[in-house]
Amino acid sequence: MSLVQEVYAQTTVNVPTIPGINNLGDVFAIVVNIVLGVGWALVFVMLGLGLVQYIMSKGEAKATDAARQWLTAAAIGGIGLFFLTTLRVILFNLVGLGTNNNIGNNQINIFTP
């Protein structure tokens, strides 16, 4: 019999976490939401600039056409982003990102029992 025995130590390590992010799906949802948000912001900026260009064109054909091109590009971008946002909602609900957390569906529960 031996007087020396092996001893195994166990310790816990606290890993810092970001609130609201529990898995890779949450990170993906945040990235998609940021990209769509920036896209919508660009659409509204382009619409605003196109309208200002159209107003400032004073009826000149060349300036009016340039403003119309801006407005057309913004409208096409808005329609595309609308379909991408719809696709995001459908896909997130299919994989469960829109039901279990507050990132996919932007709901906050303030009344916790």
Q: What number is the average pLDDT over the span 11-33?
A: 79
Q: pTM of the entire structure?
A: 0.65
Decide if 92 contacts 28 (C-beta within 8 A): no
pLDDT value, residue 96? 75
pLDDT value, residue 101? 47
Mean pLDDT of the chain: 81
pLDDT of 1 above 70: no
What would the two tokens of residue 104 be? 């996919």
Q: What separation in angstroms does the CA of 71 have from each of 53, 58, 87, 88, 105?
A: 10, 16, 24, 25, 30
pLDDT value, residue 111? 52
pLDDT value, residue 19? 77
pLDDT of 112 above 80: no
Tell which wins on pLDDT, 5 or 36: 36
Tell which wins on pLDDT, 27 or 82: 82
CA nearest to 77, candidates 49, 50, 44? 44
pLDDT value, residue 74? 95
